Copies of this chain bind each other. A is one copy, B any other.
């Protein structure tokens, strides 16, 4: 994730009308040679191997945490206590207790959690459609995150498969994204029941999870996240079915939105597929011409662009640590529901 974040820091001023220009002061990690190469490629001024020394520096205003999940809490709390702005990868923590401690510690500083999908133009536009009453009372919120690398023999190691480092499997890695998007679009989850599954013997973390939920707004929810959906690379998607319309999204086609308007003449009703790349779509003034699509990295740029704007205007930014804590509460119920 270091590359995606570095890129966002550098690119934001090119696309967003911000006054603050982030300075890539020091990049910190445990592998010194890799760090040198990364610093050279992305223009970080210095490198460090002990994060504590970075937090102690007076010339550092913000700390961005992109390390295995189990390290989030300690670094974030230390950084917040040192008065730094704190950016953190998702999931916020490996336990609800840690997440609560982090949110408590960071309440006086500005925080950002990289729930980058909120800034996919199609998702931001879905939020706008909901606000405009184009979906109406919601009946169903149906979300899936389907990947397939879980069964790839070449990918049998790494901290994401290690319980001690990752805390969980798809629950923290994928379901966290689905839940943040759901809370963002459809509001609080009142109840959730889930079941998870390990397919490979010896695997420490769950390969798949499914959940059935009730939202506070009365809608019925289903969630499914897996690393064993053969044929799918990164299908992070949802369908929202409401009284007035339907919206659907799939990150594999991230520039597109599906939209159904139940108010047009019956015989002309159909699911529309369109590029969310027009002058009246979120973030499109920032990027390219209509029909000229953006990619994965732009979700980070837009996230950081909004963060800087909020910083400059002293307005609240979301998703922050409290938003991520709300996600963690749902994940906790998922883990305890079995």
Contacts and interface: CB of A to CB of B under 8 A. Distances in A.
Given A274-B271, A281-B267, A294-B296, A195 B197 contact: no
A174 to B, nearest CB: 12
B231 A252 contact: no
Interface in A81-101: none
B291 A147 contact: yes
A267 B275 contact: no
A292 B234 contact: yes
B260 A224 contact: no
Contact of A14 (B7, B134, B208, B233): B7
Contact of A270 (B218, B239, B242, B274): B274
A14 to B, nearest CB: 6
A94 to B, nearest CB: 22
B292 A294 contact: no
B267 A229 contact: no
B290 A293 contact: no
Interface in A31-57: 41-42
A314 interface: no
Nearest to A135: B230
A293 B291 contact: no
Total identical chains: 4
A139 to B, nearest CB: 4
A16 B143 CA distance: 36
A245 B273 contact: no
A228 interface: yes
Interface string A144-155: 000111010000
A291 to B, nearest CB: 3
A264 B151 CA distance: 16
A280 to B, nearest CB: 4
A266 B270 CA distance: 17
Interface string A251-278: 1111111011110111111111111011
Nearest to A37: B17
A188 interface: no
A230 B139 contact: yes
10 contacts: A140-B226, A210-B212, A222-B222, A229-B241, A232-B246, A233-B275, A252-B255, A252-B291, A266-B279, A272-B272
